[in-house]
Amino acid sequence: MATSTVRQLRVSAAQHGAYRTIGEALQAAPDDAVISIDAGEYAETLTISDRRLTLRGTGEVVLDATGSDRPVVQARGGYLGLRELTLRGGEGSAVEMDGGELVLDRCELSAPYGPGLRVAAGATCRVTRCTVTEAQEGLVIEDAGGVFEDVRIHQIEGDGVIVRLGADPAIRNCTITACGGRGVYVYQAGRPVVEGCEISEVVEGVVVAHESAPILRRCRVHDVQGVGISFARGCAGRVEDCRLENTAEPAIFVAEGATPTVVTSDSPAPAARGNTGSAGLEELLAELDAMVGLRGVKSEVRALIDEIQVNEWRRRAGLGTPGVSHHLMFTGSPGTGKTTVARIYGRLLAALGLLDRGQFTEVSRRDLVGQYIGHTAEKTSVLFEQAMGGVLFIDEAYTLARSGASGGDFGQEAIDTLVKLMEDHRDEIAVIAAGYTEEMQQFSDANPGLASRFSKTIHFENYATDELVLIMQRMVRSADYDLDGAAEPLLADYFAQVAQAPDFGNARDARRMFEATRKTQSRRLRALGRMPELAELRAVTAADIQAVIDGQL
Protein backbone atom coordinates (compact mmCIF):
# COMPACT_ATOMS: atom_id res chain seq x y z
CA MET A 1 0.00 0.00 0.00
CA ALA A 2 1.40 3.39 -0.97
CA THR A 3 1.83 5.90 1.84
CA SER A 4 1.49 9.64 1.40
CA THR A 5 4.25 11.91 2.64
CA VAL A 6 3.85 15.38 4.11
CA ARG A 7 5.18 18.06 1.78
CA GLN A 8 7.99 20.06 3.40
CA LEU A 9 8.74 23.64 2.30
CA ARG A 10 11.59 25.80 3.54
CA VAL A 11 11.87 29.55 4.03
CA SER A 12 15.39 30.93 4.23
CA ALA A 13 17.21 34.09 3.25
CA ALA A 14 20.44 32.18 2.66
CA GLN A 15 19.55 28.69 1.45
CA HIS A 16 19.52 28.25 -2.34
CA GLY A 17 16.22 26.91 -3.61
CA ALA A 18 14.32 28.00 -0.50
CA TYR A 19 11.50 30.52 -0.47
CA ARG A 20 12.62 34.00 0.54
CA THR A 21 9.39 34.95 2.32
CA ILE A 22 6.76 33.07 4.26
CA GLY A 23 4.07 34.58 2.02
CA GLU A 24 5.68 32.99 -1.07
CA ALA A 25 5.81 29.62 0.66
CA LEU A 26 2.14 29.89 1.65
CA GLN A 27 1.13 30.47 -1.96
CA ALA A 28 3.03 27.41 -3.12
CA ALA A 29 2.14 25.08 -0.25
CA PRO A 30 -0.49 22.37 -0.73
CA ASP A 31 -2.81 21.46 2.12
CA ASP A 32 -1.22 19.54 5.02
CA ALA A 33 2.22 20.94 4.17
CA VAL A 34 4.79 21.90 6.81
CA ILE A 35 6.64 25.17 6.22
CA SER A 36 9.97 25.24 8.05
CA ILE A 37 11.31 28.76 8.63
CA ASP A 38 15.00 29.43 9.18
CA ALA A 39 16.13 31.74 11.97
CA GLY A 40 15.71 35.45 11.30
CA GLU A 41 13.24 38.33 11.37
CA TYR A 42 10.42 38.40 8.84
CA ALA A 43 8.50 41.67 8.42
CA GLU A 44 5.33 40.01 7.17
CA THR A 45 1.64 39.73 7.99
CA LEU A 46 -0.10 36.52 6.93
CA THR A 47 -3.73 35.92 5.98
CA ILE A 48 -4.76 32.27 5.67
CA SER A 49 -8.27 31.05 4.80
CA ASP A 50 -9.55 27.46 4.82
CA ARG A 51 -6.10 25.87 4.53
CA ARG A 52 -4.42 23.04 6.41
CA LEU A 53 -0.88 24.14 7.17
CA THR A 54 1.84 24.10 9.83
CA LEU A 55 4.45 26.86 10.23
CA ARG A 56 7.45 25.79 12.28
CA GLY A 57 10.44 27.83 13.32
CA THR A 58 13.92 26.37 13.23
CA GLY A 59 15.98 28.58 15.49
CA GLU A 60 14.93 32.08 16.60
CA VAL A 61 12.22 33.03 14.12
CA VAL A 62 10.46 36.39 14.55
CA LEU A 63 7.42 37.50 12.56
CA ASP A 64 7.31 41.26 13.08
CA ALA A 65 4.24 43.36 12.16
CA THR A 66 5.43 46.52 13.91
CA GLY A 67 3.88 49.52 12.17
CA SER A 68 1.05 47.48 10.62
CA ASP A 69 -2.60 47.61 11.68
CA ARG A 70 -3.12 43.97 10.66
CA PRO A 71 -2.65 40.88 12.83
CA VAL A 72 0.65 39.10 12.37
CA VAL A 73 -1.29 35.93 11.52
CA GLN A 74 -4.99 36.06 10.68
CA ALA A 75 -6.64 32.74 9.84
CA ARG A 76 -10.14 31.56 9.12
CA GLY A 77 -11.31 27.95 8.98
CA GLY A 78 -9.19 24.91 8.18
CA TYR A 79 -6.24 23.89 10.35
CA LEU A 80 -3.26 26.03 11.33
CA GLY A 81 -0.28 24.95 13.40
CA LEU A 82 2.22 27.54 14.68
CA ARG A 83 5.26 26.10 16.45
CA GLU A 84 8.34 27.72 17.98
CA LEU A 85 7.68 31.20 16.59
CA THR A 86 7.86 34.71 18.03
CA LEU A 87 5.01 36.91 16.76
CA ARG A 88 5.17 40.66 17.37
CA GLY A 89 2.01 42.60 16.62
CA GLY A 90 1.79 46.27 15.71
CA GLU A 91 -1.63 47.86 16.01
CA GLY A 92 -3.35 44.50 15.51
CA SER A 93 -3.32 41.18 17.30
CA ALA A 94 -0.45 38.74 17.21
CA VAL A 95 -2.71 35.84 16.17
CA GLU A 96 -6.40 35.75 15.24
CA MET A 97 -8.36 32.60 14.37
CA ASP A 98 -12.01 32.53 13.29
CA GLY A 99 -13.40 29.01 13.11
CA GLY A 100 -11.33 25.97 12.28
CA GLU A 101 -8.59 24.40 14.38
CA LEU A 102 -5.56 26.18 15.80
CA VAL A 103 -2.50 24.63 17.42
CA LEU A 104 0.09 26.90 19.09
CA ASP A 105 3.11 25.36 20.73
CA ARG A 106 6.14 27.07 22.26
CA CYS A 107 5.33 30.43 20.71
CA GLU A 108 5.86 33.93 22.10
CA LEU A 109 3.17 36.51 21.34
CA SER A 110 3.10 40.27 21.90
CA ALA A 111 0.69 42.97 20.67
CA PRO A 112 0.90 46.41 22.34
CA TYR A 113 -2.39 47.61 20.81
CA GLY A 114 -4.41 44.41 20.58
CA PRO A 115 -4.86 40.94 22.08
CA GLY A 116 -1.97 38.54 21.97
CA LEU A 117 -4.31 35.78 20.81
CA ARG A 118 -7.93 36.08 19.75
CA VAL A 119 -9.98 33.00 18.81
CA ALA A 120 -13.63 33.17 17.80
CA ALA A 121 -16.48 31.83 15.65
CA GLY A 122 -16.41 28.24 16.91
CA ALA A 123 -12.65 27.77 16.66
CA THR A 124 -11.07 24.82 18.50
CA CYS A 125 -7.62 25.45 19.96
CA ARG A 126 -4.75 23.69 21.57
CA VAL A 127 -2.32 26.25 22.98
CA THR A 128 0.61 24.84 24.97
CA ARG A 129 3.87 26.13 26.43
CA CYS A 130 3.35 29.63 25.05
CA THR A 131 4.06 33.10 26.44
CA VAL A 132 1.89 36.17 25.91
CA THR A 133 3.41 39.46 27.03
CA GLU A 134 3.23 43.21 26.42
CA ALA A 135 -0.24 43.03 24.89
CA GLN A 136 -3.42 45.05 25.30
CA GLU A 137 -5.21 41.84 26.33
CA GLY A 138 -3.65 38.42 26.78
CA LEU A 139 -6.09 35.79 25.48
CA VAL A 140 -9.52 36.67 24.06
CA ILE A 141 -11.66 33.54 23.64
CA GLU A 142 -15.13 34.17 22.25
CA ASP A 143 -17.54 31.49 21.06
CA ALA A 144 -14.61 29.07 20.94
CA GLY A 145 -13.16 26.15 22.89
CA GLY A 146 -10.18 23.87 23.28
CA VAL A 147 -7.27 23.58 25.69
CA PHE A 148 -4.89 26.30 26.91
CA GLU A 149 -2.16 24.69 28.98
CA ASP A 150 1.11 25.89 30.50
CA VAL A 151 0.64 29.39 29.09
CA ARG A 152 2.36 32.33 30.79
CA ILE A 153 0.50 35.64 30.49
CA HIS A 154 2.22 38.67 31.98
CA GLN A 155 2.74 42.42 31.59
CA ILE A 156 -0.69 42.94 30.02
CA GLU A 157 -2.22 46.41 29.72
CA GLY A 158 -5.80 45.23 30.31
CA ASP A 159 -7.28 41.83 31.16
CA GLY A 160 -5.14 38.70 31.14
CA VAL A 161 -7.77 36.28 29.85
CA ILE A 162 -11.22 37.16 28.47
CA VAL A 163 -13.79 34.38 27.95
CA ARG A 164 -17.11 35.42 26.43
CA LEU A 165 -19.98 34.62 24.07
CA GLY A 166 -20.52 31.11 25.39
CA ALA A 167 -16.87 30.08 25.04
CA ASP A 168 -15.98 26.89 26.95
CA PRO A 169 -12.18 26.44 26.94
CA ALA A 170 -10.17 24.40 29.42
CA ILE A 171 -7.46 26.67 30.88
CA ARG A 172 -4.95 24.59 32.81
CA ASN A 173 -1.76 25.28 34.72
CA CYS A 174 -1.42 28.80 33.37
CA THR A 175 0.26 31.76 35.07
CA ILE A 176 -1.43 35.15 34.80
CA THR A 177 0.43 38.03 36.38
CA ALA A 178 1.08 41.79 36.16
CA CYS A 179 -2.13 42.78 34.37
CA GLY A 180 -3.63 46.26 34.45
CA GLY A 181 -7.17 44.83 34.58
CA ARG A 182 -8.63 41.51 35.65
CA GLY A 183 -6.74 38.26 35.67
CA VAL A 184 -9.63 36.28 34.16
CA TYR A 185 -12.83 37.94 32.97
CA VAL A 186 -15.73 35.62 32.13
CA TYR A 187 -18.91 37.15 30.75
CA GLN A 188 -21.70 36.77 28.19
CA ALA A 189 -22.45 33.12 29.12
CA GLY A 190 -18.83 31.97 29.26
CA ARG A 191 -18.31 28.38 30.48
CA PRO A 192 -14.57 27.84 30.97
CA VAL A 193 -12.88 25.32 33.22
CA VAL A 194 -9.95 27.09 34.91
CA GLU A 195 -7.78 24.58 36.70
CA GLY A 196 -4.45 24.76 38.50
CA CYS A 197 -3.80 28.37 37.47
CA GLU A 198 -1.95 31.09 39.40
CA ILE A 199 -3.26 34.65 39.21
CA SER A 200 -1.44 37.54 40.87
CA GLU A 201 -0.60 41.26 40.67
CA VAL A 202 -3.86 42.18 38.94
CA VAL A 203 -6.68 44.59 39.79
CA GLU A 204 -9.24 41.81 40.32
CA GLY A 205 -8.59 38.07 40.20
CA VAL A 206 -11.49 36.28 38.51
CA VAL A 207 -14.61 38.24 37.58
CA VAL A 208 -17.76 36.44 36.41
CA ALA A 209 -20.67 38.34 34.82
CA HIS A 210 -23.54 38.14 32.30
CA GLU A 211 -24.99 34.70 33.14
CA SER A 212 -21.66 32.90 32.98
CA ALA A 213 -20.87 29.65 34.81
CA PRO A 214 -17.15 28.83 35.05
CA ILE A 215 -15.55 26.01 37.02
CA LEU A 216 -12.55 27.20 39.04
CA ARG A 217 -10.56 24.34 40.49
CA ARG A 218 -7.32 24.31 42.48
CA CYS A 219 -6.34 27.84 41.49
CA ARG A 220 -4.26 30.24 43.55
CA VAL A 221 -5.25 33.92 43.53
CA HIS A 222 -2.97 36.24 45.48
CA ASP A 223 -1.68 39.81 45.75
CA VAL A 224 -4.78 41.26 44.09
CA GLN A 225 -5.93 44.86 44.57
CA GLY A 226 -9.64 44.01 44.62
CA VAL A 227 -11.78 40.95 45.27
CA GLY A 228 -10.17 37.60 44.50
CA ILE A 229 -13.18 35.96 42.83
CA SER A 230 -16.57 37.60 42.19
CA PHE A 231 -19.86 36.40 40.74
CA ALA A 232 -22.42 38.93 39.46
CA ARG A 233 -26.19 38.45 39.59
CA GLY A 234 -27.46 35.62 37.37
CA CYS A 235 -24.15 33.74 37.29
CA ALA A 236 -23.48 30.19 38.43
CA GLY A 237 -20.56 27.74 38.33
CA ARG A 238 -18.27 26.21 40.93
CA VAL A 239 -15.23 27.23 42.99
CA GLU A 240 -13.39 24.23 44.35
CA ASP A 241 -10.24 24.09 46.50
CA CYS A 242 -8.95 27.50 45.42
CA ARG A 243 -6.49 29.43 47.60
CA LEU A 244 -6.97 33.17 47.99
CA GLU A 245 -4.30 35.25 49.69
CA ASN A 246 -3.76 38.99 50.13
CA THR A 247 -6.90 40.16 48.33
CA ALA A 248 -9.52 42.74 49.24
CA GLU A 249 -12.37 41.64 51.50
CA PRO A 250 -14.28 39.51 50.83
CA ALA A 251 -11.87 37.20 49.06
CA ILE A 252 -14.82 35.60 47.25
CA PHE A 253 -17.92 37.64 46.57
CA VAL A 254 -21.26 36.23 45.40
CA ALA A 255 -23.84 38.85 44.44
CA GLU A 256 -27.49 38.50 45.28
CA GLY A 257 -29.06 36.37 42.57
CA ALA A 258 -25.85 34.46 41.78
CA THR A 259 -25.82 30.70 42.48
CA PRO A 260 -22.30 29.25 42.29
CA THR A 261 -21.21 26.35 44.48
CA VAL A 262 -18.24 27.46 46.57
CA VAL A 263 -16.05 24.87 48.29
CA THR A 264 -12.91 26.60 49.58
CA SER A 265 -11.50 24.65 52.52
CA ASP A 266 -8.03 26.13 52.01
CA SER A 267 -9.20 29.71 51.58
CA PRO A 268 -8.53 32.03 54.53
CA ALA A 269 -11.77 33.92 53.91
CA PRO A 270 -15.26 32.54 53.18
CA ALA A 271 -17.46 33.70 50.34
CA ALA A 272 -19.62 36.72 51.10
CA ARG A 273 -23.06 37.30 49.64
CA GLY A 274 -24.76 40.59 48.99
CA ASN A 275 -23.90 43.74 47.08
CA THR A 276 -20.50 45.25 47.78
CA GLY A 277 -20.56 47.52 44.76
CA SER A 278 -17.52 46.02 43.01
CA ALA A 279 -19.20 42.80 41.94
CA GLY A 280 -22.46 44.65 41.25
CA LEU A 281 -20.63 46.67 38.61
CA GLU A 282 -19.58 43.76 36.45
CA GLU A 283 -22.65 43.44 34.26
CA LEU A 284 -22.48 47.16 33.46
CA LEU A 285 -18.75 47.01 32.79
CA ALA A 286 -19.38 44.00 30.56
CA GLU A 287 -21.94 46.06 28.66
CA LEU A 288 -19.33 48.78 28.20
CA ASP A 289 -16.70 46.26 27.11
CA ALA A 290 -19.11 44.78 24.55
CA MET A 291 -19.28 48.08 22.65
CA VAL A 292 -17.32 48.15 19.42
CA GLY A 293 -13.97 49.98 19.58
CA LEU A 294 -13.62 52.86 22.06
CA ARG A 295 -10.52 51.36 23.67
CA GLY A 296 -9.38 54.68 25.13
CA VAL A 297 -12.86 55.62 26.33
CA LYS A 298 -13.32 52.27 28.08
CA SER A 299 -9.95 52.67 29.78
CA GLU A 300 -10.82 56.19 30.97
CA VAL A 301 -14.22 55.13 32.35
CA ARG A 302 -12.68 52.13 34.10
CA ALA A 303 -10.03 54.37 35.67
CA LEU A 304 -12.78 56.63 37.02
CA ILE A 305 -14.72 53.69 38.44
CA ASP A 306 -11.55 52.25 40.00
CA GLU A 307 -10.81 55.57 41.71
CA ILE A 308 -14.38 55.90 42.97
CA GLN A 309 -14.38 52.31 44.27
CA VAL A 310 -11.06 52.72 46.08
CA ASN A 311 -12.20 55.99 47.63
CA GLU A 312 -15.26 54.18 48.95
CA TRP A 313 -13.07 51.44 50.45
CA ARG A 314 -10.87 54.11 52.05
CA ARG A 315 -13.93 55.83 53.48
CA ARG A 316 -15.12 52.57 55.04
CA ALA A 317 -11.66 52.06 56.53
CA GLY A 318 -11.78 55.51 58.14
CA LEU A 319 -9.14 56.98 55.81
CA GLY A 320 -9.29 60.37 54.15
CA THR A 321 -10.79 60.57 50.67
CA PRO A 322 -10.46 63.42 48.17
CA GLY A 323 -13.58 65.06 46.82
CA VAL A 324 -14.22 63.77 43.29
CA SER A 325 -16.61 65.42 40.87
CA HIS A 326 -18.72 63.10 38.73
CA HIS A 327 -19.19 65.69 35.99
CA LEU A 328 -17.52 64.85 32.64
CA MET A 329 -16.93 66.40 29.25
CA PHE A 330 -17.22 64.15 26.17
CA THR A 331 -15.60 65.39 22.96
CA GLY A 332 -15.65 63.89 19.47
CA SER A 333 -17.66 63.55 16.29
CA PRO A 334 -21.30 62.43 16.13
CA GLY A 335 -22.08 58.72 16.19
CA THR A 336 -19.09 57.68 18.30
CA GLY A 337 -21.05 56.29 21.25
CA LYS A 338 -21.07 59.30 23.58
CA THR A 339 -24.75 58.97 24.51
CA THR A 340 -24.52 55.20 25.10
CA VAL A 341 -21.45 55.54 27.31
CA ALA A 342 -23.13 58.37 29.26
CA ARG A 343 -26.10 56.09 30.00
CA ILE A 344 -23.81 53.30 31.24
CA TYR A 345 -21.80 55.77 33.34
CA GLY A 346 -24.92 56.90 35.18
CA ARG A 347 -25.89 53.31 35.93
CA LEU A 348 -22.34 52.58 37.13
CA LEU A 349 -22.52 55.48 39.59
CA ALA A 350 -25.88 54.21 40.78
CA ALA A 351 -24.44 50.70 41.26
CA LEU A 352 -21.72 52.23 43.44
CA GLY A 353 -24.38 53.99 45.51
CA LEU A 354 -23.25 57.47 44.44
CA LEU A 355 -26.43 58.35 42.55
CA ASP A 356 -29.92 57.54 43.75
CA ARG A 357 -31.33 56.28 40.48
CA GLY A 358 -28.84 56.65 37.64
CA GLN A 359 -31.56 57.70 35.19
CA PHE A 360 -30.63 59.49 31.97
CA THR A 361 -31.92 62.91 30.91
CA GLU A 362 -30.79 64.31 27.55
CA VAL A 363 -31.16 68.02 26.79
CA SER A 364 -29.95 70.49 24.17
CA ARG A 365 -29.83 74.28 23.84
CA ARG A 366 -33.51 74.60 23.00
CA ASP A 367 -34.46 72.77 26.23
CA LEU A 368 -32.36 75.08 28.42
CA VAL A 369 -32.55 78.49 26.76
CA GLY A 370 -35.61 80.70 27.21
CA GLN A 371 -36.97 83.67 25.32
CA TYR A 372 -36.25 86.48 27.76
CA ILE A 373 -33.94 87.37 30.63
CA GLY A 374 -34.67 85.16 33.63
CA HIS A 375 -36.60 82.57 31.64
CA THR A 376 -33.43 80.60 30.85
CA ALA A 377 -32.37 80.31 34.49
CA GLU A 378 -35.84 79.02 35.34
CA LYS A 379 -35.89 76.42 32.55
CA THR A 380 -32.37 75.25 33.34
CA SER A 381 -33.10 74.92 37.05
CA VAL A 382 -36.28 72.91 36.44
CA LEU A 383 -34.53 70.44 34.12
CA PHE A 384 -31.59 70.18 36.49
CA GLU A 385 -33.95 69.35 39.35
CA GLN A 386 -35.68 66.67 37.26
CA ALA A 387 -32.34 65.05 36.46
CA MET A 388 -31.18 64.87 40.11
CA GLY A 389 -30.05 61.40 41.11
CA GLY A 390 -28.94 60.57 37.57
CA VAL A 391 -27.15 61.92 34.50
CA LEU A 392 -27.93 65.23 32.82
CA PHE A 393 -26.52 64.86 29.30
CA ILE A 394 -26.14 68.15 27.39
CA ASP A 395 -25.75 67.36 23.71
CA GLU A 396 -23.93 69.89 21.52
CA ALA A 397 -23.21 71.88 24.68
CA TYR A 398 -21.01 74.31 22.75
CA THR A 399 -24.14 75.87 21.23
CA LEU A 400 -24.84 77.41 24.64
CA ALA A 401 -21.76 79.59 24.15
CA ARG A 402 -23.22 81.13 20.99
CA SER A 403 -25.50 84.17 21.00
CA GLY A 404 -29.03 83.79 19.71
CA ALA A 405 -30.23 85.28 16.44
CA SER A 406 -31.54 88.38 18.23
CA GLY A 407 -28.22 88.99 19.92
CA GLY A 408 -29.50 88.08 23.39
CA ASP A 409 -26.91 85.99 25.22
CA PHE A 410 -29.42 83.58 26.78
CA GLY A 411 -27.06 80.62 26.31
CA GLN A 412 -24.58 82.33 28.61
CA GLU A 413 -27.32 82.60 31.22
CA ALA A 414 -27.83 78.82 31.00
CA ILE A 415 -24.08 78.22 31.44
CA ASP A 416 -23.87 80.52 34.46
CA THR A 417 -26.86 78.78 36.05
CA LEU A 418 -25.35 75.34 35.41
CA VAL A 419 -22.03 76.32 36.97
CA LYS A 420 -23.71 77.18 40.28
CA LEU A 421 -26.04 74.18 40.31
CA MET A 422 -23.23 71.74 39.47
CA GLU A 423 -21.24 72.92 42.47
CA ASP A 424 -24.20 73.05 44.86
CA HIS A 425 -25.28 69.50 43.95
CA ARG A 426 -21.99 67.88 42.96
CA ASP A 427 -22.77 64.67 44.90
CA GLU A 428 -26.34 64.33 43.65
CA ILE A 429 -26.00 64.42 39.88
CA ALA A 430 -23.55 63.77 37.04
CA VAL A 431 -23.54 66.42 34.31
CA ILE A 432 -22.01 65.35 31.01
CA ALA A 433 -21.45 68.01 28.34
CA ALA A 434 -20.83 66.62 24.86
CA GLY A 435 -19.89 67.99 21.46
CA TYR A 436 -17.25 68.46 18.77
CA THR A 437 -13.73 68.69 20.15
CA GLU A 438 -12.79 72.20 18.99
CA GLU A 439 -16.18 73.74 19.71
CA MET A 440 -16.19 72.34 23.26
CA GLN A 441 -13.21 74.55 24.03
CA GLN A 442 -15.48 77.53 23.38
CA PHE A 443 -17.92 76.05 25.88
CA SER A 444 -15.19 75.65 28.51
CA ASP A 445 -14.10 79.27 28.05
CA ALA A 446 -17.64 80.65 28.46
CA ASN A 447 -17.43 80.83 32.27
CA PRO A 448 -14.26 81.02 34.42
CA GLY A 449 -15.56 78.32 36.77
CA LEU A 450 -16.93 75.95 34.14
CA ALA A 451 -13.80 73.95 33.28
CA SER A 452 -13.09 73.23 36.96
CA ARG A 453 -16.56 71.72 37.41
CA PHE A 454 -15.69 68.84 35.08
CA SER A 455 -13.34 66.27 36.55
CA LYS A 456 -12.23 64.89 33.21
CA THR A 457 -12.52 65.28 29.44
CA ILE A 458 -12.88 62.00 27.54
CA HIS A 459 -12.26 62.07 23.80
CA PHE A 460 -14.17 59.71 21.47
CA GLU A 461 -12.17 58.81 18.36
CA ASN A 462 -13.83 58.15 15.02
CA TYR A 463 -14.49 54.48 14.37
CA ALA A 464 -12.02 52.66 12.15
CA THR A 465 -13.28 51.03 8.97
CA ASP A 466 -13.22 47.50 10.40
CA GLU A 467 -15.10 48.70 13.48
CA LEU A 468 -17.85 50.19 11.31
CA VAL A 469 -18.13 46.89 9.46
CA LEU A 470 -18.49 45.11 12.80
CA ILE A 471 -21.16 47.60 13.92
CA MET A 472 -23.04 46.92 10.70
CA GLN A 473 -22.71 43.16 11.22
CA ARG A 474 -24.16 43.47 14.73
CA MET A 475 -27.10 45.49 13.44
CA VAL A 476 -27.77 42.82 10.82
CA ARG A 477 -27.60 39.96 13.32
CA SER A 478 -29.72 41.71 15.95
CA ALA A 479 -32.48 42.23 13.37
CA ASP A 480 -32.48 38.51 12.38
CA TYR A 481 -30.72 38.92 9.06
CA ASP A 482 -27.73 37.03 7.66
CA LEU A 483 -25.02 39.07 5.95
CA ASP A 484 -23.24 37.50 2.99
CA GLY A 485 -19.51 37.29 3.73
CA ALA A 486 -18.80 38.68 0.27
CA ALA A 487 -20.44 41.94 1.36
CA GLU A 488 -17.82 42.70 4.01
CA PRO A 489 -15.11 44.05 1.64
CA LEU A 490 -17.77 46.17 -0.07
CA LEU A 491 -18.74 47.66 3.29
CA ALA A 492 -15.10 48.25 4.20
CA ASP A 493 -14.50 50.17 0.98
CA TYR A 494 -17.72 52.15 1.43
CA PHE A 495 -16.97 53.19 5.00
CA ALA A 496 -13.40 54.11 4.06
CA GLN A 497 -14.81 56.53 1.47
CA VAL A 498 -17.58 58.11 3.55
CA ALA A 499 -15.15 58.58 6.46
CA GLN A 500 -13.44 61.27 4.39
CA ALA A 501 -16.60 63.41 4.16
CA PRO A 502 -16.87 66.44 6.48
CA ASP A 503 -20.29 65.27 7.70
CA PHE A 504 -19.14 61.72 8.48
CA GLY A 505 -21.52 60.25 11.05
CA ASN A 506 -19.61 57.16 12.27
CA ALA A 507 -22.15 54.65 13.63
CA ARG A 508 -24.96 56.82 12.31
CA ASP A 509 -23.68 56.17 8.80
CA ALA A 510 -23.64 52.45 9.59
CA ARG A 511 -27.26 52.72 10.74
CA ARG A 512 -28.23 54.59 7.56
CA MET A 513 -26.51 51.93 5.46
CA PHE A 514 -28.39 49.17 7.30
CA GLU A 515 -31.78 50.84 6.87
CA ALA A 516 -31.12 51.46 3.18
CA THR A 517 -30.01 47.84 2.75
CA ARG A 518 -33.25 46.57 4.29
CA LYS A 519 -35.23 48.61 1.78
CA THR A 520 -33.13 47.31 -1.09
CA GLN A 521 -33.57 43.73 0.06
CA SER A 522 -37.34 44.26 0.36
CA ARG A 523 -37.56 45.50 -3.23
CA ARG A 524 -35.57 42.50 -4.44
CA LEU A 525 -37.77 40.01 -2.60
CA ARG A 526 -40.99 41.66 -3.76
CA ALA A 527 -39.78 41.27 -7.34
CA LEU A 528 -39.63 37.48 -6.94
CA GLY A 529 -43.38 37.26 -7.47
CA ARG A 530 -43.78 34.70 -4.71
CA MET A 531 -43.44 34.42 -0.96
CA PRO A 532 -39.72 34.06 -0.14
CA GLU A 533 -38.41 31.13 1.87
CA LEU A 534 -37.05 31.69 5.37
CA ALA A 535 -33.41 31.73 4.23
CA GLU A 536 -34.27 34.30 1.56
CA LEU A 537 -36.02 36.52 4.09
CA ARG A 538 -32.92 36.50 6.26
CA ALA A 539 -30.29 36.89 3.54
CA VAL A 540 -28.64 40.26 2.90
CA THR A 541 -26.56 39.76 -0.21
CA ALA A 542 -23.49 41.50 -1.57
CA ALA A 543 -25.70 42.71 -4.41
CA ASP A 544 -28.00 44.42 -1.89
CA ILE A 545 -25.03 46.24 -0.38
CA GLN A 546 -23.64 47.17 -3.80
CA ALA A 547 -27.01 48.59 -4.88
CA VAL A 548 -27.07 50.88 -1.84
CA ILE A 549 -23.48 51.99 -2.42
CA ASP A 550 -24.17 52.75 -6.08
CA GLY A 551 -27.09 54.91 -5.02
CA GLN A 552 -25.16 56.84 -2.37
CA LEU A 553 -21.68 57.41 -3.80
CATH number at residue 438: 3.40.50.300
The answer as to whether 295 is a domain residue is no
The answer as to whether 379 is a domain residue is yes
In this prediction, residues 150-176 reach a mean pLDDT of 94
Query: Whole-number mean pLDDT of the chain?
Result: 86
Q: How far apart are alpha carbons 309 and 312 in whole angstroms?
A: 5
Count how many domains the chain has: 4
The answer as to whether 507 is a domain residue is yes
Dihedral over alpha carbons 410, 412, 414, 415 (to 10 degrees): 170
Residues 149 and 224 in one domain: no
Please, are residues 539 and 517 in contact by the beta-carbon 8 Å criterion? no
User: Which amino acid, residue 366?
Assistant: R
Largest pairwise CA distance in the chain? 99
The answer as to whether 35 is a domain residue is yes
Residues 13 and 108 in one domain: yes
pLDDT at 255 over 60: yes
User: Which amino acid, residue 128?
Assistant: T
Read off the pLDDT band of 177 (50, 70, 90). very high
The answer as to whether 172 is a domain residue is no
Determine what percent of the chain falls in helix, strand and coil, rounding each to the nearest 5.
30, 30, 40
Residues 1 and 83 in one domain: yes
The answer as to whether 169 is a domain residue is no
Residues 494 and 370 in one domain: no
Residues 511 and 445 in one domain: no
Q: What is the pLDDT of residues 527-536, one digit of tens each?
A: 888 888 888 8
Residues 340 and 387 in one domain: yes
Last residue of a domain, one of 246, 281, 316: 281
Residues 335 and 276 in one domain: no
Residues 376 and 330 in one domain: yes
426 Cβ neighbours under 8 A, 6+ residues apart: 323, 325, 326, 327, 453
* Spatial CA neighbour of 382 closest among 410, 397, 361: 361
Residues 350 and 420 in one domain: yes
The bridge status of strand 204-208 relative to strand 108-120 is unpaired
- pLDDT at res. 141: 95
Full domain range(s) for residue 521: 465-552
The answer as to whether 145 is a domain residue is yes
Q: What is the pLDDT of residues 77-97, one digit of tens each?
A: 999 999 999 999 988 899 999
| Better pLDDT: 199 or 441 | 199
Q: How far apart are alpha carbons 460 and 527 in whole angstroms?
A: 43
Helices (H), 317-374: 338-351, 365-368
Last residue of a domain, one of 399, 428, 460: 460
Residues 272 and 330 in one domain: no
| Better pLDDT: 409 or 383 | 383
Is 161 exposed, middle or buried (CB count within 10 Å of its CB: 0-12, 13-18, 19+)? buried
Please, are residues 404 and 369 in contact by the beta-carbon 8 Å criterion? yes
Q: How far apart are alpha carbons 450 and 420 in whole angstroms?
A: 9
Residues 142 and 226 in one domain: no
Between the CA of residue 185 and those of 139, 157, 223, 310, what are the distances in Å? 10, 14, 17, 20
Please, are residues 91 and 115 in contact by the beta-carbon 8 Å criterion? no
The answer as to whether 356 is a domain residue is yes
- pLDDT at res. 90: 87
Read off the pLDDT band of 57 (50, 70, 90). very high
Last residue of a domain, one of 281, 300, 335: 281
